[in-house]
Structure 1
Amino acid sequence: MAMSPKLEFRQSQSLVMTPQLMQAIKLLQFSNLELTAYVEAELERNPLLERASEEGMPESAERAEAGDSAGESGADKSGGESPDTGEWMASDMEPSRADMESRMDADLANVFPDDVPSGQMAPGGGAAGGSASSSYTEWSGGERGEDYNPEAFLAAETTLADHLEAQLSVAETDQTRRLIGLYLIGLIDETGYLTADLDKVAEQLSVSRAEVDDVLALIQTFEPSGVGARSLSECLALQLREKDRYDPAMQALVENLELLARHDRNALRRVCGVDAADIADMIQEIRRLDPKPGLVIGSGVVHPLVPDVYVRPGRDGTWLVELNSETLPRVLVNQSYHATVAKASLSAEEKSFLSECLQSASWLTRSLDQRARTILKVASEIVRQQDGFLLHGVRHLRPLNLRMVADAIGMHESTVSRVTSNKYISTPRGVVEMKFFFSSAISASGGGEAHSAEAVRHRIRTLIENESAEDVLSDDTLVQKLKADGIDIARRTVAKYRESMNIPSSVQRRREKLSQRNA
């Protein structure tokens, strides 16, 4: 068979990931710290980008107005007179959206759909005023002060909170208990002590005090030894227990530190029931312990999680959802500087560089705006879906997945996934990660509304915590009690959830309870 050359034309569609599209996707999934570091790098690289002040005017324009030559810069003045109109971001000199899309071979609408806010959410799940869509509050980027240091975010030093959260993610698989743990870690100061009122913590999270105590006991087993203590005595006791040196005599010494502070060794000998040599050895052992264990991890102050979105109840019973402006670096395009440079005699290479800088700056400002709107829209839908959690606590979490949110707001699942990555919401129940609100569904008996898997886990743990040594609940009994509560669940699912929460079997629990009672 003879071989001959042949020319064919084929038409096909494919998605081309331009650098601008990749940048927009990266911006969407960045945390607030990563976003700040990225924008700071762009400000250093692109001469047409300016950090906006609180009045919406670039810092260079403010400096020009403050100097003697302010009257000579008519372009700067005209740009700063109406900061709310966005003249710095969109002027006659800036390329139009269609022009940008043509040059970059990219469609901005494919990255983030335009969102039109309307209505206001009601806690009941609907929208106030008859509108079916959720609303958001007007937002603006926060001003970074002169003391702002981007190197603080680029440093690789691990903080105490990071160290504890990493251990918590390994030691605890239950999402509810992990939420409690993250909340407690946020309350631990840089020295490693927890000074919060645990009753108030339990009330705010709508969980039992026993659950909070149990999670705190887990945190107190983490490194560094002694972390999570509520007093110096407890801190020393935790370290002594780890060394297996917390005998009755040492316990008496730790409980009477005021005598040690007064150097009253005679009283200490009587309290501890030991002789002078033993009390001297015990004191030396106490002195080798660390009274501030948190300081060994990092040297900076431990900060709690910074939320990206705030949720608070409104006066009319709705939920108000707004962005945290402090996490939104605001940048503008300095059209005046571009116009001045463009008038100069430039080479072809310089003109190309200037055009690239203008396009990149315009794209970044638009991407940051769309990023904020997209985060707010996703957060608003999550709040609408999970209003039961905000009102009544963890037990009232509803089944929710990415597709449900994506379909409700007209976005793709991948967009919702990126939005919820590394983002946190400040709610009346504490600061929680957006992904916490997503949970699989457990069918309801009688055809009722399905239950969240996290709510079912919480119910299983509550039932087991309230059992007695004489009435330890087997997995079959748990199934019956859950079905009585309207939760249709299989025995193997109960066993899987129990094992994921590191809860032993009913036989092991009965042995442990009997041994503790007989001890």
Structure 2
Amino acid sequence: MRLGYGINLEQSQKLVMTPELRQAITVLQLSAADLVQYIENAMLENPLLEVRDESEPEEEIGSEPAGDDFTRDWCEYLAEYGQVDRSFDRAWADQEDDDAYNFEHFVAQAPSLHEHLTLQLHLSLSEPWEREIGEFLIGNINDRGYLQISLEEVQKACGYPVSEIERILKVIQSFDPPGVGARDLAECLLIQLEQRGLRTPVMEKLVRFFLGDLARGKLAKIAAALGLTVQEVQLKADLIKSLDPKPGRNFSRPGDVRYIVPDVIVEKVDGEFIVLVNDVSVPRLIINKTYQTLLRQRDTCDPATAQFIENKLKAAVWLIRSIEQRRLTLYRVVKCIVDSQREFLERGIKYLKPLTLKQIARVAELHESTVSRAIANKYIQTPQGVFDLKFFFSSGVENVVAGEMVAAESIKRILKELVENEDATRPYSDQHLCELLRERGIRIARRTVAKYRQEIGIPPVRQRKRYR
């Protein structure tokens, strides 16, 4: 066998990930809020991009005399893509009014827990050294409302007696929210009971020694240990459950407040569901007119400047096109989802149908990966509420009675209704719930029932049992 070298010519087709294609994929995956940030960053890098001023009348691009064929081609392209979606602008313009921008509709940032406590501290203590200790203690209270440092460590840091530190801690523990400044869960609950005037020896024993048994629903064991009836323990357990184990969680931290802005809105108009891509907050991009003029006069520019403008123009137009393509793709995908989920939109989660990416991709004539990117990080506002678009893509089981598939979310809603209507003195076990579902034609295993029950936050049968 002889070895040698040779040159072979071969033709093949390969998918090349160009920067433009990578940008289009990135834009497709962005939510409306993230897209705004992406556009702002792009405008910093590309001087040809600018936001259209809605107060100025639009001018047709290409109305001026064009230069060579290259310039004329770009002007035609810009006329098509540079002024994106005017019909969509008009549709949303009808919904705008002066009240939409009333400052009363905006929510001010709530004070943080530390700010709330510091304000109360300054109203309660006047001595500078007391405030110094108090501010140090408050600075070591975590977001849940618990003190994370021992009094001895405070003494080393501040140099004041432990007795004075403990006195000031007691002052802080009297502040709002009830239970703040506690060093553990038991102290937190006891502080709240104290403020309600309900701290009795029995309640103190329950909190200090039987919280674990209470959580596991072992009321008979607690009743025997304390010499109470099960019904009495039940009432005391209900009282403890009404307390807040994390008193600081209702206060915001900087950056904690997040609002969901739906990327798509579905409304019912004259019996039909209308899909609106909610990109009102997305800036409408156009090409800077000064650079358009320079491009038409590129023969008078030096080659480096002309090349720079051409490169930036291509990047700008591709971004505008990618944004428009994102809107069209998102519309197509959501329209297919809406057509598949009419019963859900009209009647609620119980009527949600199982759906796969493959099904939507086939109907929308898109690739599965495109559908997956289109629904990523996006929310939809429907007559039934606001949902993550991924919510609609879930597995299901066959309903042997109705002869159709039932989505997992629908089964969870049925489970929730069954538990809400059960006899609390004889709650349903997972096996019993499984049998009730079978009566409705839904055949799933007991372990699946347990899994769904846990996912929707329903405790096990022992913890749901009530004593009368």
Structure 1 length-normalised TM: 0.57
Give the letter for the 1:190 counterpart. Answer: A
> 2: distance between equivalents of 1:81 and 1:466?
70
Matched, 1:390 2:345: yes
Cross-structure match for 1:381 = 336
> 2: distance between equivalents of 1:503 and 1:415?
36
Cross-structure match for 2:88 = 139
CA-to-partner distance for each residue in 1:178-237, whole Å, 9 max, x for gaps? xxxxxxxx99973599xxxxxxxxxxxxxxxxxxxxxxxxxxxx95459xxxxxx99734
Matches within 5 A, 1:220-299: 224-225=144-145, 236-237=177-178, 239=180, 242=185, 243-246=188-191, 248-252=193-197, 294-298=250-254
Cross-structure match for 1:322 = 276
Matched, 1:415 2:370: yes
DSSP-derived class of the 1:8 partner:
coil
DSSP-derived class of the 1:310 partner:
strand
Give the letter for the 1:387 counterpart. Answer: R
Cross-structure match for 1:455 = 410
Cross-structure match for 1:443 = 398
Q: Given the superposition, is the C-alpha separation of residues 457 and 501 from structure 1 closer, same or farther in structure 2, using an over 3 Å criterion?
A: same
DSSP-derived class of the 1:297 partner:
coil
Cross-structure match for 2:74 = 94
Cross-structure match for 1:30 = 30
1:469 Cα offset (Å): 4.4
1:438 Cα offset (Å): 1.5
> 2: distance between equivalents of 1:337 and 1:291?
58
1:51 Cα offset (Å): 0.9
Cross-structure match for 1:72 = none
Matches within 5 A, 1:80-91: none
Matched, 1:16 2:16: yes
1:48 Cα offset (Å): 1.9
Cross-structure match for 2:323 = 368
> 2: distance between equivalents of 1:26 and 1:188?
33
Q: Given the superposition, is the C-alpha separation of residues 392 and 78 from structure 1 closer, same or farther in structure 2, using an over 3 Å criterion?
A: closer
Cross-structure match for 1:517 = 467
1:92 Cα offset (Å): 2.6
Q: Given the superposition, is the C-alpha separation of residues 78 and 35 from structure 1 closer, same or farther in structure 2, using an over 3 Å criterion?
A: closer
1:9 Cα offset (Å): 2.2
* Residue 286 of structure 2, aligned match among 327, 332, 357: 332
DSSP-derived class of the 1:139 partner:
helix
1:417 Cα offset (Å): 0.8
> 2: distance between equivalents of 1:30 and 1:137?
22
8 Å CA contact 1:36–1:329 kept in 2: the answer is yes
1:95 Cα offset (Å): 6.7
> 1: distance between equivalents of 2:194 and 2:323?
62
DSSP-derived class of the 1:379 partner:
helix
Q: Given the superposition, is the C-alpha separation of residues 292 and 53 from structure 1 closer, same or farther in structure 2, using an over 3 Å criterion?
A: farther
> 2: distance between equivalents of 1:408 and 1:137?
27
Give the letter for the 1:340 counterpart. Answer: L
> 2: distance between equivalents of 1:224 and 1:375?
40
8 Å CA contact 2:361–2:368 kept in 1: the answer is yes
> 2: distance between equivalents of 1:189 and 1:17?
43
Give the letter for the 2:195 counterpart. Answer: M
> 1: distance between equivalents of 2:55 and 2:15?
40
1:379 Cα offset (Å): 1.5
CA-to-partner distance for each residue in 1:439-488, whole Å, 9 max, x for gaps? 11111113611111111012123222332344332333222211222223
Q: Structure 1: where are the runs of 5+ without partners?
A: 59-76, 83-89, 98-107, 109-135, 144-185, 194-221, 227-232, 255-289
8 Å CA contact 2:112–2:253 kept in 1: the answer is no
CA-to-partner distance for each residue in 1:30-89, whole Å, 9 max, x for gaps? 12222111111222222222211226768xxxxxxxxxxxxxxxxxx664999xxxxxxx
Task: Using the TM superposition, name which of 483-492 and 30-39 deviates more.
Answer: 483-492
CA-to-partner distance for each residue in 1:322-347, whole Å, 9 max, x for gaps? 12232322101235532335525333
Give the letter for the 1:460 counterpart. Answer: L
8 Å CA contact 1:93–1:335 kept in 2: the answer is no
8 Å CA contact 1:187–1:304 kept in 2: the answer is no
Give the letter for the 1:297 counterpart. Answer: R
8 Å CA contact 1:137–1:321 kept in 2: the answer is no
Q: Given the superposition, is the C-alpha separation of residues 225 and 388 from structure 1 closer, same or farther in structure 2, using an over 3 Å criterion?
A: farther
CA-to-partner distance for each residue in 1:397-450, whole Å, 9 max, x for gaps? 111111111111111111111111111111222222111121111111136111
Cross-structure match for 2:6 = 6
Identity of aligned residues (%): 34
Q: Given the superposition, is the C-alpha separation of residues 321 and 446 from structure 1 closer, same or farther in structure 2, using an over 3 Å criterion?
A: same
Larger radius of gyration: 2
8 Å CA contact 1:137–1:322 kept in 2: the answer is no
> 2: distance between equivalents of 1:475 and 1:458?
15
RMSD: 4.0
Query: How many residues are matched?
Result: 338
> 1: distance between equivalents of 2:446 and 2:366?
37
> 1: distance between equivalents of 2:362 and 2:411?
25
Matched, 1:349 2:298: no
Q: Given the superposition, is the C-alpha separation of residues 187 and 359 from structure 1 closer, same or farther in structure 2, using an over 3 Å criterion?
A: closer
Q: Given the superposition, is the C-alpha separation of residues 249 and 365 from structure 1 closer, same or farther in structure 2, using an over 3 Å criterion?
A: closer
8 Å CA contact 1:399–1:450 kept in 2: the answer is yes
Q: Given the superposition, is the C-alpha separation of residues 477 and 291 from structure 1 closer, same or farther in structure 2, using an over 3 Å criterion?
A: closer
* Residue 449 of structure 2, aligned match among 494, 502, 508: 494
Give the letter for the 1:421 counterpart. Answer: A
Task: Using the TM superposition, name which of 238-247 and 490-499 deviates more.
Answer: 238-247
DSSP-derived class of the 1:322 partner:
strand
8 Å CA contact 1:309–1:323 kept in 2: the answer is yes
Give the letter for the 2:312 counterpart. Answer: C
Q: Given the superposition, is the C-alpha separation of residues 432 and 353 from structure 1 closer, same or farther in structure 2, using an over 3 Å criterion?
A: same
Structure 2 length-normalised TM: 0.62
